[in-house]
A = this chain, B = another copy of it.
Amino acid sequence: MMERVYNFSPGPSMLPLPVLEQVHKELLCYGDTGTSVMEMSHRSKMYLEIFDASVAALRALMHIPDTYEVLMLQGGATQQFSAVPLNLLTASGSADYVDSGNFAHLAAKEAERYGAVRVVASSRNEQYRFIPALHTQVFDPKADYFHITTNNTIYGTRYAKLPDTGDVPLVADMSSNILSEVYDVGKFGVIYAGAQKNIGPAGLCVVIVRKDLLGRANQLCPRLLNWQVQAETGSMHNTPNTFAIYVAKLGFEWLLNRGGVEAMEQVNIEKASILYNCLDQSKLFKGTALPSDRSRMNVTFVTGDEAKDDAFIKFAAKAGLINLKGHRSVGGMRASIYNAMPVDGVRALAACMKDFEAQNA
């Protein structure tokens, strides 16, 4: 077997090696069941134990109150771009969105098809280099909800502070930084997150929804997108992504064993600091995000010279540091350093940047 590489992909991305090793160990036969998890009926006792343990571990990690449902759905966060308005945009028919990046923009565009969408703040014209300033006086107190994207994968930005939306439910796409830092779930109406960055394999979306927000769906909401239907059936209105939920469970347990989100947040601050310190000291590499809004999960940087960017990406790949190419809309480099990326991987990248700079001074 080839040596494992450090994979800085924005998602799907690295999984913790102990998780992969556990999956490997029980792939052909789970416990004494004589079957693979992939072969288990989703309604069988053996599988329901896995499912329930997965939800319980996520509840423990995020300290999710009993007043919230935890749904394990298919379709990824993009499906929730439709599901959010189909489930919630039904009273005043108007919602507030913050346009802080590409996915935030797409979420608002999709919601516009189902009601009135007010973009209350945007950094689109500044290449999304920062989280736009939020002035509560422009928020609509009658909005059905207020939508944010807590971390912007492509642009490497993160909300340092959550907006105060009063009684308007705060709905957050947390795909790229869920479980990476402590959030008070009680401050949100809905949190949703595609799994393929900080949870597990692609094809799974976690939706955490305050129970009083159920039962408001648009008449035309497809049944499978209706949170109330999924809550009533324990996320099993139809067969869920059983295998991804199992791998997610192992990931949740790995995180609990490491001290939970509280401990992981400290590691993530350290990891991000290593790279941002490296950028701030470099004469070659420059970070693209405003320092106050820098993401801890996605570190974006450029040399200012496309040929040098390409040369660095190749140089890093030779050292086993792969998928550092930035998104086409930003260019340059992006290092995605989710929970599963070890500190050693980040140190290796920083060392590689210094080596490259020394050779290209």
Chain A contact residues (Cβ within 8 angstroms of B): what range? 35 or more
Give complex CA distance A14, B41 in Å.
10
Report chain B residues within 8 Å CB of A38.
Answer: 12, 15, 20, 200-202, 247
B27 touching A39, Cβ below 8 Å: no
Copy number in this complex? Answer: 2
Report chain B residues within 8 Å CB of A78.
Answer: 223-224, 237-238
For residue A244, CB closer than 8 A to chain B, the reply is yes
Shortest CB–CB separation between residue A277 and chain B, in angstroms?
27
B34 touching A27, Cβ below 8 Å: no
For residue A339, CB closer than 8 A to chain B, the reply is no
Report chain B residues within 8 Å CB of A204.
Answer: 203
B74 touching A2, Cβ below 8 Å: no
Give complex CA distance A27, B11 in Å.
18
Stretch in A57-65, A79-87, A118-126, A278-286 touching the partner: A79-87
For residue A326, CB closer than 8 A to chain B, the reply is no
Report chain B residues within 8 Å CB of A14.
Answer: 35, 39
Tell me the interface secondary structure of chain A in the complex: loop
For residue A163, CB closer than 8 A to chain B, the reply is no
B15 touching A202, Cβ below 8 Å: no
B202 touching A239, Cβ below 8 Å: yes
Closest residue of chain B to A26 (Cβ to Cβ) is: B1
Shortest CB–CB separation between residue A205 and chain B, in angstroms?
9
For residue A222, CB closer than 8 A to chain B, the reply is yes
A-B contact pairs, 17 of them (CB 8 A): A4-B28, A4-B29, A7-B35, A7-B39, A9-B44, A12-B42, A24-B24, A74-B76, A75-B79, A86-B222, A113-B219, A201-B241, A202-B239, A202-B242, A203-B242, A222-B225, A241-B244
User: Can you add 12 more A-B contacts, CB < 8 Å, to A12-B239, A82-B222?
Assistant: A2-B32, A7-B39, A11-B41, A14-B39, A23-B27, A34-B320, A76-B239, A79-B238, A114-B220, A194-B239, A203-B243, A222-B222
Contact surface of A with B, Cβ cutoff 8 Å = 1-5, 7, 9-15, 20-21, 23-24, 27-29, 32-36, 38-42, 44, 74-79, 81-83, 86, 110, 113-114, 194, 196, 200-204, 219-220, 222-225, 237-244, 247, 320, 322-323
